[in-house]
Structure 1
Amino acid sequence: MREKFIEFRNVSFRYGDNEPWVLKNVSFDIYKDEWVAIIGHNGSGKSTIAKLMNGLLYPQEGEIIINGLPVNDKHVWEIRKFVGMVFQNPDNQFVGTTVQDDVAFGMENRGVPREEMILRIEEVLKAVRMEEYRLTEPHRLSGGQKQRAAIAGVLAIKPEVLILDEATAMLDPRGRKEIMQTVAEIQQQSEISLITITHDLQEVVKAERVIVMNNGKVWDEAKPREIFAKKDELRKIGLDVPFVAVLADELIQNGIMIKNEPLDHDEILEELWTLHSKM
């Protein structure tokens, strides 16, 4: 049985006493070594969830448990050792003059011995395919390279959960694909929980589970294939349905019976090839 790592218990939050609730009575669990995608339209509360997980914010109601510890003033610094975050704009995270220096920064703050730092720098830069840029100044990198460098800096401190808060929002489609491929590889190779927070349903395909937020509440929670099947409902809450799901519907309406809800282009091609082979 999988072990719970993050627990939200009836959590509510608002940014001021007279402000509307951003989250209201939100409950869910995230398990160790699990990949969960949290999706929702702008203003649905998903980025607030990310900040609550890292102790940047505290709930006004309810309780958050991270690795057995409640998120509060007493435990927040210990909790932040478990939780690594990558934000939308990587420029806000860079502090080093080179990629290598930036990756080393978090480890220096934690007193990691120099020999161990050197090994970790090699390891994480290889994991994100940035070895050849180790002496490059961060501002000279492309958008996708900056995000990979930011991810390397977080991985170097060996968190038990990695949160990507709209980490691909500022990238072009190629950059988004590269980052999602990188994090998928990291999650498969490492014992780490991965939480991707996004409004782009294309990015949730490889997640084990999807939590859909709407108006500050958990609207649904299921596997990606089950979420994609609810196309009309997703559109009603302001989420764009992935192109593959739309194409599958068009094919069905034209008499081509797609049996399984396809998650990506490979799956829909496989379905079409199987149908063609039976003709």
Structure 2
Amino acid sequence: MRNKFIEFRNVSFRYSDEEPWVLKNCSFEIYENEWIAIIGHNGSGKSTIAKLMNGLLFPQEGEIIINGQQVNEETIWDIRRDVGMVFQNPDNQFVGTTVQDDVAFGMENRGFPRAEMVKRIEQNLTAVGMQEYRLTEPHRLSGGQKQRVAIASVLAISPKVLILDEATAMLDPKGRMEIMRTVSNVQEEYKLSLITITHDLQEVVQAERVLVMNKGEIWDEATPREIFAKKEALREIGLDVPFVAILTDELKQAGISITNEPLNQEELLEDLWTLHSRT
């Protein structure tokens, strides 16, 4: 049984006393080595959750526990050693003149020995498929390549949690696929907790669990398959339904008895082939 790594206990937050609550009495848990997706429409509170996890914000009500410590001003630097974060725009995270300089930056700030830095630069650029670009200037990279370097920079300091906050929002479909493939490989290799925050339901199929936010509250919490089954309800709270789910409904309405809720094209094709084999 896995241990709890992050706990939100009745957390509420707003940016000022004059503004409405962005989060309202939110409670949930994230476990070691778990991949969880947090989804919701713009303004639902999901990115605020990410900033609270990393100590960029502090709750007005409730408490947040990470790796056994309450998040506050005294523990913030310990928390940030455990929690790494990749933002929507990778350009905001680049500080080095070359890719390897950027990956080295966080380690330099933490006083890593040079030999260990060299080893980790190679290891983490290899993990995200960017080792051939180590001497490249970051501004010469594509959007997807920049995000992979940003991920490598965070991994270099050995976090126990990796948060991707809308990390694919500025990418084209190919770039999004590359990043999701990269984070899947990284999560499997490094055995860390992975939190992907997005409004795109296509990106959550690989997660073990999905947390759905709506108007600052937890609307639902379930597996991707269980969430995708609630198509109409998802539309009502402003979330697009994946194409595979739409196609599955159309096939059912046409009299094709698909019993499962396919998560992707491969599962849908397998279901159709099984039906065909029986006829």
Structure 2 CA distance for aligned equivalents of residues 116 and 2 of structure 1: 30
Distance 2:167 2:248 in 1: 28
* 1:47 Cα deviation from its structure 2 partner: 0.2
Task: Give the distance between the partners of 2:251 and 2:99, measured in 1 at CA.
Answer: 47
Q: Which residue is equivalent to 1:220?
A: 220
C-alpha distance in structure 1 between counterparts of 2:188 and 2:131, whole Å? 20
Partner of residue 145, structure 1: 145
1:248 aligns with 2:240: no
Letter in 2 for 1:84: G
1:182-201 to structure 2, matched below 5 A, reads 182-201=182-201
Q: Which runs of 5+ in 2 are unaligned?
A: none
How many Å apart are 1:73 and its aligned residue? 0.7
State the partner residue of 2:96.
Answer: 96
Q: Please give the per-residue CA displacement for 1:182-231, whole angstroms capped at 9, x wherever unaligned.
A: 00011111120000000000000000000000000000000000000000
Seq. identity, %: 77
Task: Give the SS at the match of 2:63.
Answer: strand
Superposition TM-score, scaled by structure 2 size: 0.99
Alignment of 1:15-94 (within 5 A): 15-94=15-94
**SS of aligned partner of 1:6:** strand
CA distances 1:86-132 after superposition (whole Å, capped 9, x unpaired): 00000000000000000000001111111111111111001100011
* CA–CA distance in structure 2, aligned partners of residues 31 and 234 of structure 1: 25
> Equivalents in 1 of 2:240, 2:119: separation in Å?
42
Aligned residue type for 2:206: K
Moved over 6 A (4+): none
Unpaired stretches in structure 1, ≥5 consecutive residues = none
TM-score, with normalisation over the residues of structure 1? 0.99
Task: Give the C-alpha shift of residue 260 in structure 1.
Answer: 0.7
One-letter code aligned to 1:200: D
Q: Which residue of 1 aligns with 2:275?
A: 275
* CA distance in structure 1 between the partners assigned to 2:13 and 2:52 by the alignment: 9
In 2, distance between residues paired with 1:239 and 1:273?
A: 30
Q: CA deviation at 1:165?
A: 0.1
* Residue identity opposite 1:90 in structure 2: P
Rounded to whole Å, the distance in 1 between the matches of 2:98 and 2:24 is: 42
Aligned twin of 1:166 = 166
State the Cα RMSD in Å.
0.5
Aligned equivalents of 1:4, 1:57: Cα separation in 2: 21
Task: Give the C-alpha shift of residue 259 in structure 1.
Answer: 1.1
What's the offset of the Cα at 1:8? 0.2
